[in-house]
A and B are shown apart, each in its own frame.
Chain A
Amino acid sequence: MLGEFEYLLLSAAARLGDGAYGAAIRREIEGATKRRCSIGALYTTLDRLEAKGLVRTWMGDPTPQRGGRQKRMVRVTGEGVQEAKAFYDAVSRASQGVSWAADRARGLS
């Protein structure tokens, strides 16, 4: 089972698709959670996910915006998608019938 931050990272990487790399994922997570995401948490979690085979990372091309430094590109693997789906399903099931989830569902509809 994934951890909360692992799920956030996988979701952000999946949403970004081919444009998923460290700084972009960080922005996505901060935008979604409205909280700061530290570089330390991001890269140590990314290493953990890669060790589990849930993401694949490689070095991307350097850009002038980054002072000519490389990016660490990220792609979610099939196994990563399965794990993220399992986590989402578990949270959805666990949230059924609770007041905050019901309010949220009404708000969305």
Chain B
Amino acid sequence: MKRVGWWWLGFLARALEPPERDVVLGDLAESGAGFGQAMRDLLGLIVRRQIGLWTSWRPWLSLFGVCGLAGLSLSSIVFRLNVDLGKYLAHYLTDLTDRQEVAFFLCMSVALLVWSWTCGFVLGSLSGRAVWLTWTVFYFVVLDSAWARFVLAGNIILRNPRTHESLLDSLQGTLRLLTATTLPLSIAALLSLFPALFGAFVGVRWRILAVRHAYLIGSVNTALAILTTWATGWYDPAHQPLRWPGVPWSVRLLPFLLVSWPVAYLVATACRQRNEEAETT
């Protein structure tokens, strides 16, 4: 087999645990199998291992809990921040002072960054080697679910009501839609998905944080949930000329709580590990 073939096999074998990776590549080298055969063998083992991972509750919790529950809320927050940032392009006015404007965007941006990192970490920690699949689902849920909800509800239309021309009728329109639904092209999406990706990498490697780090992240998450609830309270009714109705604080807090539930898991696992270590010593 050529060097490039071994490179591909080595790359694919990263889906396996390191000791097994070494053993399997050694077996393939010893068998003298051609590239095609070796690739089939390796893929067969990877598929079996991936299926095996889903016999545990952990990837399912990451799929439904992080991608579903937290991801949907995160998507709404990303969407909202994009709309709020859009006012600088659309030039619609608010009664907010400069200080309030800065405080609101700073608060939302930092919160989005921290929540996304936490979600990514817990996703990686729970999914382990199934992270490539759960991360992909998480990515598309965060990027597209809020848009999809608006499209399904009829608030966003993909067809021109006058000409009845659909966005999908032209190649250019289709490509525009494809890039918008697959690439993080907005500031808010970037603020969310890159920290989440980094968090997932760290989560796969570390699995569990030290208690003091978990407490720190827990405190930051809680503080940001309170701050964003407070900031959204004076942001909504300040829109001109049609003031958006004020929303009760409990309703405003709910999505922030949903998006920050993974921090509870993070703290719980850190505390459990500390207790287990204390029992063994």
Contact = CB atoms under 8 A, between A and B. Distances in A.
Contacts of A67: 25-26, 29
Please report whether the interface of chain B is mostly helix, strand, loop or mixed according to DSSP. helix
18 contacts: A22-B24, A23-B26, A23-B30, A38-B41, A39-B24, A39-B28, A40-B45, A40-B47, A43-B45, A62-B26, A65-B29, A66-B27, A66-B30, A67-B26, A69-B29, A70-B22, A70-B23, A72-B23
A109 interface: no
B13 to A, nearest CB: 11
Contacts of B52: 44
Interface of A: 22-23, 26, 38-41, 43-44, 59, 62-63, 65-67, 69-72
Contact of A69 (B22, B41, B48): B22
A44 B25 CA distance: 16
B42 interface: yes
B250 interface: no
Nearest to B16: A43
A70 B42 CA distance: 17
A71 B29 CA distance: 12
A56 to B, nearest CB: 15
B24 A43 contact: yes
Nearest to B20: A43
B27 A23 contact: yes
B48 A22 contact: no
A23 B28 CA distance: 8
B48 A44 contact: yes
Contacts of B275: none
B154 interface: no
B47 A69 contact: no
Q: What bracket does the count of chain B residues touching chain A fall in?
A: 20 to 34
Given A39-B41, A39-B42, A26 B27 contact: yes
Given A23-B30, A65-B29, A71 B41 contact: no
Given A39-B41, A40-B48, A26 B23 contact: no
B44 interface: yes
Contacts of B42: 39
B19 interface: yes
Contact of B26 (A41, A44, A71): A71
A77 to B, nearest CB: 20
B26 A66 contact: yes
Contact of B23 (A38, A44, A65, A69): A69
Given A23-B30, A66-B29, A71 B45 contact: no
A70 B41 contact: no
B31 interface: yes
A53 to B, nearest CB: 19
Nearest to B37: A36
A41 B41 CA distance: 9
Contacts of A63: 26
Interface string B1-43: 0000000000000000001101111111111000000001110
Contacts of B23: 22, 43, 59, 69-72
Nearest to A67: B29
A16 B180 CA distance: 58
Contacts of A59: 19, 23
